[in-house]
Amino acid sequence: MPARVDIAIIGAGVVGLAVAARLADRGDDVLLLEKYDSFGQETSSRHSGVIHCGIYYPPGSLKARLCLAGNRSLYDLCSRYGIGHKRLGKLIVATAENELGQLESLLERGRDNGVAGLRLLSPAEVKQLEPNVAGAAAVLAPSTGIIDAPALMKCFLGLARRGGIQVAYRSRVSRLEKLSGGYRLTVTGDEGDFSFTARLVINCAGLHADKVAALAGIDIDDAGYRLHFCKGEYFSIGSGQCHPVKRLIYPLPPADLSGAGIHVTLDLEGRLRLGPGVLYVDRIDYGIDARHKRLFYDSARRLLPWLEYEDMEPEMAGIRPKLQGPGEDFRDFVIAEESSRGLPGLINLIGIESPGLTACPAIAEYVAGLVGRL
């Protein structure tokens, strides 16, 4: 490991990798640090794999802006580098008449956000597009899709390496100390501790981004940076079912946008699954509570009346790094250069939950803009 680099990126999830690939374009001297022995071992491999369209988020928020920009960039990247994806489109379905007002408000919000191609569908149009979905009406979002996220991460890693970026695995950043003109990072690895300096530090540590910010001396409660772990469980719909859907099928989201509601996603092989739920937890544990199957079933049956309880199996879980605590209001992504806290050159990315996968190329562009000013 070098004694000094210009830029250190902490965390090789999809966001850290996207940032590394983007900075490689500029020819910067960058070291990407990851505590595991490979990339994408945490949240970036435990999600729905959906390229979101940007309909849900408050207009003007980073989530709305970066999701929209990321959506376009991801499709471009997929075409340019042959990354597996499908632009399936999605339906957001009102299952009862009394949900129509909420559906129309969502449509309006999506249009305010600049989401292209949104259309309100009548029950007959819902039936025509998705004969196996029950709905009083729906919004069609044609720019929603799915992506092979591991292939995207490999692509970013390849671009980063080709641009000369070094990657250090088994390297957990355990200390971060402000110096004049930069930072000293201490990394705990297989062979003990090692220190080096960097002019700029970019914190892409996902579920641990608040702890990394705290290492630099930030009071995370004061700053509003404390993360809450929010588990999302998935149940697969087994091969016994014979009523496939062609698009992603979502209910209306909860008013606090704590999740998108238990929905039906497809993977690139056409397998169906239900999820993710919203469950605040105290620690990182990817186990699935089989007792939640009934809740998933009842919720999904409103959209998929043919669903059989026996067809559902626990599949996997992911954990959202959420700034929004239980019962609290919507919180936006934090992407902040910390000069105002006396920490110039430290860029924190905190609360990068959904739509972080979709937004990652746009997040990288945004971070590159901050780096360009330093």
Smallest distance, Å, CB 100 to ligand FAD?
26
Smallest distance, Å, CB 162 to ligand FAD?
20
User: Are 234 and 316 within 8 A, CB to CB?
Assistant: yes
- What contacts 181, CB < 8 A, 6 or more positions away? 199
Smallest distance, Å, CB 16 to ligand FAD?
5
- Say what angle helices 356-372 and 14-26 make with each other, to 10 degrees: 40
Smallest distance, Å, CB 101 to ligand FAD?
26
Smallest distance, Å, CB 297 to ligand FAD?
19
Interface with ligand FAD (CB under 6 A): 10-16, 33-36, 40-44, 46-50, 52, 172-173, 204-208, 212, 232, 276, 318-320, 352-358
Q: Of 46 and 247, which has the nearer Cβ to ligand FAD?
A: 46
Smallest distance, Å, CB 47 to ligand FAD?
3
Beta strand 346-350 with 192-203: parallel, antiparallel or unpaired? parallel
C-alpha span between 91 and 94 (Å, rounded): 10
Smallest distance, Å, CB 223 to ligand FAD?
18
Smallest distance, Å, CB 224 to ligand FAD?
18
Question: Tokens in use for 2?
Answer: 């070098």
Largest CA-CA distance found in the chain, in angstroms, rounded? 66
68: exposed, middle or buried (C-beta count within 10 Å: 0-12, 13-18, 19+)? Answer: buried
Q: Of 100 and 370, which has the nearer Cβ to ligand FAD?
A: 370
User: Are 52 and 353 within 8 A, CB to CB?
Assistant: no
Q: Of 52 and 199, which has the nearer Cβ to ligand FAD?
A: 52
Q: Of 123 and 326, which has the nearer Cβ to ligand FAD?
A: 326
Q: Of 136 and 151, which has the nearer Cβ to ligand FAD?
A: 151
Question: Tokens in use for 359?
Answer: 């937004």
First to last CA, the chain: 24
Q: Of 277 and 345, which has the nearer Cβ to ligand FAD?
A: 277
Q: Of 43 and 95, which has the nearer Cβ to ligand FAD?
A: 43
Length of the chain in terms of residues written = 374
Across the strands, what pairs with 249? 91, 264
Q: Of 135 and 206, which has the nearer Cβ to ligand FAD?
A: 206
Question: Tokens in use for 128?
Answer: 């025509």
Strands (E), the chain: 4-10, 30-33, 50-51, 85-86, 90-94, 119-121, 137-141, 145-147, 166-168, 172-179, 182-189, 192-203, 228-237, 248-251, 263-266, 272-275, 279-281, 312-322, 334-337, 346-350
Q: Of 68 and 357, which has the nearer Cβ to ligand FAD?
A: 357
Smallest distance, Å, CB 166 to ligand FAD?
14
